[in-house]
């Protein structure tokens, strides 16, 4: 019996037959793999004896053996030698398996390859190769490989077990991407991660969760994270500027998030305060590219950490210039002013039709120059300033739910209660802004928007949901639901509640156990 207790896309953690926590490494010395009466027994799961199947990398067809709960990919050592062919093979397996069984890749025990394989949905490994390497004195550690004159089987076994324990916890806490991205000691692992990102970012894959907590963007691979790419695609193709802000001010990012909480932004805000109602503030940063001020407290803008050095990689420069260029071309600004330090000079060509003030928040003279320049620009504006806070909420709704979400800016009322922003329509709370999650939560009062659009819907059997809905109770979903999405719970068109998806959509529809939705009301 499988009982999943956490997912992150294809990665999953839980217990098998009430005894074994996965992801796990089979210990051959302890009888976890054995032959009995001509059959193979793995952790109490019985298989036919596995044949050694030659893997044709140029035309991989999913070949595997199955028990009730485990699917064994045949000949893992041969598979992994061709990373691209292996990745394509694995995606075919996922397409047919759809979370019904956990995957075992025999012959693989490389501790530096295991994290990305877990991320890609492999749940069981074995120690055969690790034992051979240990006899040769190979020692695996957090910083790489060393050598010993002794048999290092015990030492390596402890290292792998500790790594798997961390991976299990990281799946539950939604932090496994940070581990995979920033612990890169295997060229094959890097190649597989890049293939995964390319697939998700080009084919609209819904496997990656809509929220993953803190983002540690410490290397170039962060530019390709599916949640980061989704954000950039939204800004480039779907986002619309506030209708009443015709003057754009480009300013630098800060280490502290949200940016307006930082010392640098507080000083800039103080300097431009009399003119802010006329200005649309846009922050230039990596790996997000640009962040409109009204989205600074949303995910992922308020959740990433990046080294602030003033140095920019070639990829970062290309990405920022591309985003700025497309954003400016589709914008309807009467003027653009940039207030940036000199290390941003790589965007000069993109801003050649704009005014750039090379300055720093710590220099009073620079801030005075910015303030006077804004005073002149604002005096030339013909439009009256209109508060844009209502439109800002619509921008947040569209970032989170999609550009389909209607413009309700003229009808809403925004209030603060218990330090949370609440969005009211007809004096009823429809949404609540939750800063520590960087999102808006849905109430039943807002369910009709999703019902009418056929979005974010979970269909259940005829019961009244309480705190959790288990996969066995789900009969269908709308397309495009991701883990951590806000969802509306339906039965035959009747709203039964709202909550948060805790599984990928395919898992909800395939599994009979595990929490699929956390119900809020």
CATH number of 215-379, picked from 3.90.940.20, 3.30.2390.10, 3.40.50.10630, 3.30.70.120:
3.40.50.10630
pLDDT tens, 6-59? 999 999 999 999 999 999 999 888 888 888 777 888 898 888 766 555 555 555
Checking 230-234 for CB contacts under 8 A at 24+ apart, the result is 231/288, 231/300, 231/301, 231/399, 232/288, 232/289, 232/319, 232/323, 234/398, 234/399, 234/403
Which is it for strands 335-340 and 355-358: parallel, antiparallel or unpaired?
Answer: parallel
Dist. CA 342–CA 361, nearest whole Å: 12
Q: Grade residue 383 by pLDDT with cuts at 50, 70 and 90.
A: low
Dist. CA 117–CA 189, nearest whole Å: 8
Torsion of CA 171, 175, 181, 187, to 10 degrees: -20
Q: Give me the sheet containing 20-22, strands edge to edge.
A: 2-8, 11-16, 20-22
Dist. CA 423–CA 432, nearest whole Å: 6
Longest CA span, the chain:
90
Per-residue CA distances from 272 to 221, 275, 367, 370, 374 (Å): 36, 6, 8, 8, 8
- Radius of gyration of the chain measured on its C-alpha atoms: 26
Domain regions of the chain by residue span: 2-202, 215-379, 403-519
CATH code reported for the domain at 403-519 = 2.30.130.10
pTM value > 0.85: yes
- Does 80 or 472 have the greater pLDDT score? 472
Per-residue CA distances from 294 to 188, 263, 306, 377, 402 (Å): 40, 18, 21, 22, 16
pLDDT of residue 96: 92
Q: Grade residue 133 by pLDDT with cuts at 50, 70 and 90.
A: very high
pLDDT of residue 245: 82
Q: Could you tell me what percentage of the chain is helix, strand and coil, using 3-state DSSP and rounding each to the nearest 5?
A: 35, 25, 35
pLDDT of residue 302: 96
The answer to whether 51 touches 78, Cβ cutoff 8 Å, is: no
pLDDT tens, 264-283? 999 999 999 999 989 999 99
- Smallest CA-to-CA distance from 473 within 485, 483, 452, 459 is with 459
Q: For all residues of the chain together, what is the average pLDDT?
A: 92
Q: Grade residue 384 by pLDDT with cuts at 50, 70 and 90.
A: low
Q: Looking at the predicted structure, is the pLDDT value of residue 60 above 90?
A: no
Overall residue count recorded for the chain in this entry: 521
């Amino acid at each position: 019996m499988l009982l999943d207790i956490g997912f992150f896309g294809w990665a999953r953690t839980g217990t098998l037959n009430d005894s074994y926590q996965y992801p796990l490494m089979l210990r051959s010395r302890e009888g976890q793999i054995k032959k009995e009466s001509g059959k193979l027994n793995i952790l109490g799961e019985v298989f036919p004896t596995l044949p050694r199947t030659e893997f044709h990398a140029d035309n991989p067809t999913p070949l595997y053996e199955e028990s009730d709960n485990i699917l064994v990919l045949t000949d893992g050592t041969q598979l992994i030698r061709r990373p691209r062919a292996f990745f394509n093979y694995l995606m075919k397996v996922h397409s047919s398996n759809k979370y019904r069984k956990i995957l075992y890749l025999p012959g693989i025990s490389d501790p530096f390859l295991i994290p990305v394989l877990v991320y890609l949905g492999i749940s069981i490994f074995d120690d055969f190769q690790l034992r051979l390497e240990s006899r040769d004195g190979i020692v695996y550690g957090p910083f790489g490989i060393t050598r010993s004159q002794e048999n290092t089987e015990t030492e390596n076994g402890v290292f792998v077990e500790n790594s798997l324990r961390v991976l299990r916890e990281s799946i539950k806490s939604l932090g496994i991407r940070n581990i995979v991205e920033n612990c890169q000691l295997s060229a094959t692992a890097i190649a597989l991660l890049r293939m995964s990102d390319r697939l998700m970012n080009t084919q609209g894959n819904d496997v990656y969760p809509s929220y993953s907590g803190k983002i540690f963007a410490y290397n170039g691979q962060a530019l390709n994270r599916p949640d980061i790419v989704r954000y950039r695609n939204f800004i480039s193709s779907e986002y619309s500027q506030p209708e009443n802000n015709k003057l754009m001010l480009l300013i630098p990012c800060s280490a502290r998030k949200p940016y307006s909480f930082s010392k640098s932004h507080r000083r800039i805000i103080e300097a431009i305060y009399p003119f802010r109602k006329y200005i649309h503030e846009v922050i230039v940063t990596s790996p997000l590219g640009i962040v409109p001020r009204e989205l600074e407290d949303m995910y992922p803008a308020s959740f990433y950490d990046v080294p602030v050095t003033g140095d920019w990689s070639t990829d970062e420069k290309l990405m920022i210039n591309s985003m700025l260029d497309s954003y400016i071309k589709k914008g309807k600004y009467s003027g653009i002013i940039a207030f940036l330090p000199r290390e941003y000079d790589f965007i000069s060509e993109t801003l050649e039709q704009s005014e750039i003030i090379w300055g720093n928040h710590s220099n009073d003279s620079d801030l005075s120059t910015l303030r006077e320049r804004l005073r002149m620009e604002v005096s030339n504006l013909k439009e009256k300033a209109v508060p844009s806070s209502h439109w800002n909420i619509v921008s947040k709704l569209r970032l989170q739910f999609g550009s389909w979400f209607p413009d309700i800016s003229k009808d809403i009322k925004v209030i603060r209660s218990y330090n949370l922003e609440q969005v009211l329509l007809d004096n009823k709370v429809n949404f609540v802004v939750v800063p520590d999650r960087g999102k808006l939560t849905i109430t039943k009062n807002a369910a009709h928007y999703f019902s009418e659009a056929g979005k974010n819907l979970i269909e259940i059997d005829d019961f009244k949901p309480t705190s959790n809905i288990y996969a066995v109770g789900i009969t269908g979903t709308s397309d495009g639901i991701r883990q951590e999405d806000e969802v509306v719970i339906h039965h035959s068109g009747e709203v039964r509640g709202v909550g948060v998806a805790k599984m990928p959509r395919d898992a909800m529809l395939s599994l009979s156990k595990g929490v699929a939705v956390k119900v809020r009301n």
